[in-house]
Amino acid sequence: MIVANRIIYLDNAATTKVNPEVLDSFNKTKNLYFANPGSIHIPGQEASRLLEKAREQILNTLGVRDHELVFTSGATEANNLAIKGYALKHQNRGKHLITTNIEHPAVLEAFKQLEQYFGLEVTYLPVNKNGVVDVNDLKAAIRKDTILVSIMAVNNEVGSINPLHEIANLLKSYPLIAFHSDVTQGLGKIELPYNELDMFSFSGHKIHGLNSSGALIKRKKIELLPLLSGGGQENNLRSGTNDVALAVSLAKAIRLENSKIRENYVKISEIAAFLKNYIASRNDLYELNSFDNPYIINFSTLTKKASVVVEALSSRGIMVSSVSACHAKEEPISYVVKALGKSDNLAHNTVRVSLSYENSLDEIKEFISVLENIIKELK
């Protein structure tokens, strides 16, 4: 077994190490404010006030006006609430939805369920060779019965960044269409036009927060059909007893990450450039699949099986991934890399290196050295 403090962890798009400040905030809150925030006694009222303070802190940090926040167990639940909740609530307006063919499974599977079980129609937009949606393709796909567009901010496998500002501007001409975005891989890493989005979803564990924390933020005027029925918590949109400590820890994680977006971006850009230059210099061994986003570097191995390479790296204390961690066990091919126009062989053999502010240039140099040795040793 590898001791945690000896590993080189380069799989931050899957999950991040919890920030000690965030964990400390969670522990203190859990000990002091353990009461149910729905209770009317004094400890319950104190917990309720803290829950609302966390809610307001997140909204203020992200600079969103006319929005409200629904705490969830993570981006998967938030995506499902946004997509299914909106589509089912407003299917009398129209039954046509639009998304892309490179969305996270939490989004794609939600749309597939709406198609299969509820009779809604979905257009899956293609992306260009850089993994980005063409706004003209979106405009051409809009119909009179279109009610929802869901396009991710940053792709979780190749890091491509979609033009959310341009998309939001286009959709201003279609007041009956709601615009949702899964911003999980962009939150705390790049500047995003949150205030221009009707709904957006994210998870805490991607920004050095805790697992099972996340949120859906939506305009107050947006109406959704709740997926969870019960006591009517979260403004009747997500029933179930709130975990105040998770909410507070999420607010803390967002404040910390947002406060150093530019500083971290500069640092990680230098590290990523070094790795990308190496990959480009060895085009006999690798092909780069990612682009301008320094947080995610995706490449395909040309002479060895990527799964074997990833396993060999893990055995030597270096943690990277192949396809998305959310579907790695079920899906042997990267549908995202395939959508870029790449061959099946390249899509079968992807390696994803995803960085955080905790990584260093020395770690990347060590990764390259170990990778070179593995490629030489594998037969």
Task: Dump pLDDT digits (tens) for 311-337.
Answer: 999 999 999 998 644 554 555 799 999
Q: Which residues are registered as beta bridge partners of 353?
A: 297
* pLDDT band per the 50, 70, 90 thresholds, residue 65: confident
**What is the reported pLDDT for 326?**
52
Average of pLDDT values for 203-229? 97
Using the predicted structure, report yes or no on whether residue 273 has a pLDDT greater than 70: yes
Catalytic residue check, 19: no
Using the predicted structure, report yes or no on whether residue 117 has a pLDDT greater than 90.
yes
What's the whole-number average pLDDT of the chain? 95
Model confidence at 54: pLDDT above 50: yes
Distance CA 339, CA 266 (A): 29
Q: Are 287 and 299 in contact (CB under 8 A)?
A: yes
**Candidate list 308, 326, 333, 375, residue with the active-site label:** 326
Residue 150: its H or E element: strand 146-150
Total residues found in the chain within this entry: 379
Mean pLDDT of 71-90: 98
Q: What pLDDT is attached to residue 379?
A: 76
Amino acid at 274: F
**What's the pLDDT score for residue 158?**
98
- Among positive and negative, which fits the CA dihedral 34, 40, 46, 50? positive
Residues above pLDDT 90, as percent of the chain: 95
Q: Is the pLDDT of residue 287 over 70?
A: yes
User: Looking up tokens 């060779």, which residue turns up?
Assistant: 129
- pLDDT-derived band at 2, boundaries 50, 70, 90: very low
Q: Above 50 in pLDDT, residue 3? A: no
Please compute the mean of the pLDDT values over residues 145-174 and round it to a whole number.
98
Percentage of the chain exceeding pLDDT 70: 96
CB contact at 8 A, 201 and 79: yes
Structural tokens at position 35: 């009461």
β-pairing verdict for 146-150 and 96-100 = parallel
Q: What's the pLDDT score for residue 324?
A: 47
